[in-house]
């Protein structure tokens, strides 16, 4: 089956062949730390073998639960934040038509999927409650720690909505909890209330968890093929099993971006040319940023949606500070295409485009932008996706996970922890007066002049 390919032909002016070869010892060291589980944070590297070793019984339960949701609900509300929602959102958007939730039921494979608990916005929750209206719905609440504030708040709101609509006993049958196997508030509540539970394996961190129940249940409920997703990841696991950069494209990507970083290209823009791939960038930003951004090191992961952002960020990318490089994720063939409609005359000046498809315009635009940006001093890497399907997505997920695992070790950091995300929580809890934060409350309130 065709799979993703990584292309470096547009960095010839920026990276010499010998520089890539010189990265091999560092990559070999990183590969050994990763696979022999001798590197920092190795307890959280079970994602490496997940596409082979996943829990098949739980996988069947996920498929069964998805069918149940499709049979008794029109809507699934997926509650989670960070690694507990971005992968699912990426996949639901990538594997379904744009505007899937707005399509008539007969044109949709699964239920409508909405996400909640990924912000502290009251308006968002109110608006989503209004959108659900009187439609039948179920809830998948996802939290590894089981104590994260944003999803906990949203869960209260939607749990009470379920109880009001269906009564306490029947509401419980519509709640699916994905959390730690043994501990945490969500775990304890789920056991006590009898919710159907799915587990997030101990050795898989949030941002690496899309191929666990965290991603799989919402993706399956949307009607997408989760077996093909796992098959793609499995084949990538086999493909990216060597340390040799010339044979392992995930490592070639890791090595190339590391060389660029050492030359001062410290910001990477993930580029897509399909609106349905915007959340691919959001998922990738968390994966890269939370894994690499430590000890004042790491490539800053950013993104741009083309051609949309060429009309906003394009100027900066072409002529601003020369510390950017681009990694373009380009589909080799779109899910659907469209001929430019014929029109008499040439009032809109588009006659020269007649006879070509709109996807050909997209492709020519992407080729032209790459040439212009390379001329402007922006190194350009490319990842080609043969199709917008579940197999390809699974393959790509594994490609980026493998790349960032190795990359983190080349930076000499622990790619699997996220100590920095606690700082804001301490300040927020102190200001909200959470028990246990009394010491900090005084200090933070004083700084706000309260
Ligand atoms: O990658 C991570 O660990 C974080 O982004 C978490 O996924 C996020 O904070 C949500 O945590 P939890 O699943 O414990 O609610």
According to the model, what pLDDT value does residue 264 have? 98
- The pLDDT score that the predictor gives to residue 373 is 98
pLDDT of residue 160: 98
- Per residue in 41-87, pLDDT (tens digit) is 999 999 999 999 999 999 999 999 999 999 999 999 999 999 999 99
Alpha carbon of 363 to ligand 1 centroid (Å): 36
Asked if residue 216 has pLDDT above 90, the reply is: yes
Does position 423 have pLDDT exceeding 90, yes or no?
Answer: no
pLDDT of the residue at 404: 98
Query: Ligand 1: which of 41, 78, 84, 147 to mutate, most ligand atoms within 8 Å of CB?
Result: 84
Q: Which of 280, 270, 363, 269 is nearest to 95 (CA)?
A: 280
Active site residue 384: no
- 47's CB contacts (< 8 A; 6+ apart) are 203, 204, 205, 208, 209, 211, 401
Residues of the chain with pLDDT > 70, as a percent, come to 100
Q: What is the pLDDT of residue 192?
A: 98
**Residue 58 token pair:** 């739980």
- The CA distance from 420 to 55, in Å, is 31
> Residue 150: CB within 6 Å of ligand 1?
no
Residue-wise pLDDT tens digits, 245-268:
999 999 999 999 999 999 999 999
- Of the residues 83, 189, 293, which should be mutated to test ligand 1's pocket, given the most ligand atoms within 8 Å of the CB? 83
Cα–Cα distance for residue pair 433/347, rounded to 1 Å: 64
Question: What's residue 443's pLDDT?
Answer: 84
End-to-end CA distance of the chain: 62
How many residues are there in the chain? 450
The band of 422, judged by pLDDT with boundaries at 50, 70 and 90, is: confident
Q: Which residue's structure tokens are 């916005």?
A: 121
Whether residue 293 has pLDDT greater than 90: yes
Report which ligand 1 atom has the smallest distance to the Cα of 145. Answer: 14
Compute, in angstroms, the gap from residue 304 CA to the centroid of ligand 1.
Answer: 24
What pLDDT is recorded for position 444?
84
**Ligand 1 pocket, 83 CB below 6 A?**
yes
CB 259 within 8 A of CB 23: yes
The CA 413 to ligand 1 mean position distance, Å, reads 19
What rounded mean pLDDT belongs to the chain?
A: 96
Helix (H) and strand (E) counts in the chain: 18, 10
pLDDT value for 448: 87
Residue 290: active-site member: yes
Q: According to the model, what pLDDT value does residue 122 have?
A: 98
Q: Whose CA is nearest to atom 15 of ligand 1?
A: 143
**What's the CA-to-centroid distance between 26 and ligand 1, angstroms?**
30
Q: Cα(434) to centroid of ligand 1, in Å?
A: 20
Name the pLDDT band for 177 (thresholds 50, 70, 90). very high
Q: Does ligand 1 come within 6 angstroms of the Cβ of 415?
A: no
Ligand 1 neighbour 205 (Cβ under 6 A) = yes
Residue 93 Cα, ligand 1 centroid: separation in angstroms?
20
Listed in sequence order, the residues at least 6 apart from 321 whose beta carbon sits closer than 8 Å to its beta carbon are: none
150, 249, 290, 326: the catalytic one is 290
Percent of the chain predicted with pLDDT > 90? 91
22, 425, 438, 442: the catalytic one is 425
Provide the token pair at 66.
């998805």
**Amino acid 428: pLDDT:** 87
Examine the pLDDT at 1 and tell me if it is beyond 80: no
**pLDDT category of residue 446 using cuts at 50, 70 and 90:** confident
């Amino acid at each position: 089956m065709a799979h993703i390919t990584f292309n470096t032909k547009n960095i010839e002016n920026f990276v010499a062949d010998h520089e890539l070869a010189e990265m091999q010892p560092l990559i070999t060291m990183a590969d050994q730390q990763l696979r022999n589980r001798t590197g920092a944070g190795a307890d959280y590297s079970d994602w490496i073998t997940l596409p082979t070793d996943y829990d098949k019984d739980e996988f069947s339960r996920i498929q069964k639960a998805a069918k149940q949701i499709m049979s008794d609900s029109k809507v699934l509300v997926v509650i989670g934040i960070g690694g507990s929602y971005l992968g699912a959102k990426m996949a639901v958007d990538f594997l379904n038509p744009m505007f899937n939730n707005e399509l008539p039921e007969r044109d949709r494979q699964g239920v409508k999927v909405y996400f909640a608990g990924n912000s502290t916005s009251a308006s968002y929750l109110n608006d989503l409650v209004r959108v659900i209206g009187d439609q039948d719905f179920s809830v998948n609440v996802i939290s590894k720690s089981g104590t994260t504030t944003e999803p906990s708040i949203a869960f209260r709101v939607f749990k009470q909505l379920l109880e009001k609509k269906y009564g306490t006993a029947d509401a419980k049958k519509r709640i699916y909890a994905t959390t730690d196997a043994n501990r945490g508030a969500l775990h304890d509540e789920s056991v006590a209330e009898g919710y159907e539970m799915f587990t997030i394996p101990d050795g898989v961190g949030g941002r690496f968890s899309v191929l666990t129940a965290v991603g799989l249940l919402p993706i399956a409920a949307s009607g997408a093929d989760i077996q093909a997703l796992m098959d793609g990841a499995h084949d990538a696991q086999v493909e990216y099993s060597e340390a040799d950069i010339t044979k392992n494209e995930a490592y070639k990507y890791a090595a190339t971006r590391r060389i660029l970083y050492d030359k001062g290209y410290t910001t990477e823009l993930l580029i897509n040319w399909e609106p349905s791939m915007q959340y691919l960038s959001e998922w990738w930003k968390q994966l890269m940023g939370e894994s690499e951004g430590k000890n004042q090191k790491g490539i800053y992961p950013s993104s741009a949606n083309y051609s949309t952002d060429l009309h906003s960020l394009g100027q900066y990318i072409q002529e601003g500070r020369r510390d950017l490089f681009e990694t373009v994720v380009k589909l080799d063939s779109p899910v659907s295409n469209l001929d430019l409609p014929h029109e008499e005359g040439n009032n809109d000046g588009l006659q020269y485009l007649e006879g070509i498809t709109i996807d050909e315009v997209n492709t020519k635009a992407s080729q032209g932008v790459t040439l212009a940006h390379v001329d402007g001093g922006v190194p350009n890497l490319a990842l080609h996706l043969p199709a917008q399907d579940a197999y390809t997505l699974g393959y790509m997920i594994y490609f980026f996970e493998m790349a960032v695992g190795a990359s983190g070790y080349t930076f000499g950091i622990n790619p699997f922890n996220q100590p920095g995300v606690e700082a804001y929580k301490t300040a927020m809890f102190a200001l909200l007066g959470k028990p246990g934060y009394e010491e900090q409350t005084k200090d933070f309130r004083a700084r706000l002049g309260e």
